[in-house]
Amino acid sequence: MFRRKSTLIIFLMIIVLAVIYTVSSRNEASKQKQAEINLSEELEEEKKPVDEEQFFSEMDNEYYSVYVKKENGEGSSFVPLTLNPGFDYSMGYSVSMSFDDNGEVVSGEKIIVIDDLTISDENKEQIKQITGNEKYEEAILEIEKEISEIEKKND
Q: Mean pLDDT highest for which of 33-42, 87-96, 109-118?
A: 109-118
Q: How far apart are CA 142 and CA 95, in angstroms?
A: 19
* Residue 54, pLDDT score: 47
Contacts of 107 (CB under 8 A, 6+ apart): 56, 60, 61, 97, 98
Residue with more model confidence, 38 or 150:
150
Residue 122: pLDDT band (50, 70, 90) is very high
Alpha carbon of residue 22 to chain centroid: 47
Domain range list for the chain: 1-48, 53-154
Residue 85 has pLDDT above 80, yes or no: yes
- The answer to whether the predicted template modeling score (pTM) of the entire model surpasses 0.75 is no
* Residue 58, pLDDT score: 43
* Residue 142, pLDDT score: 95
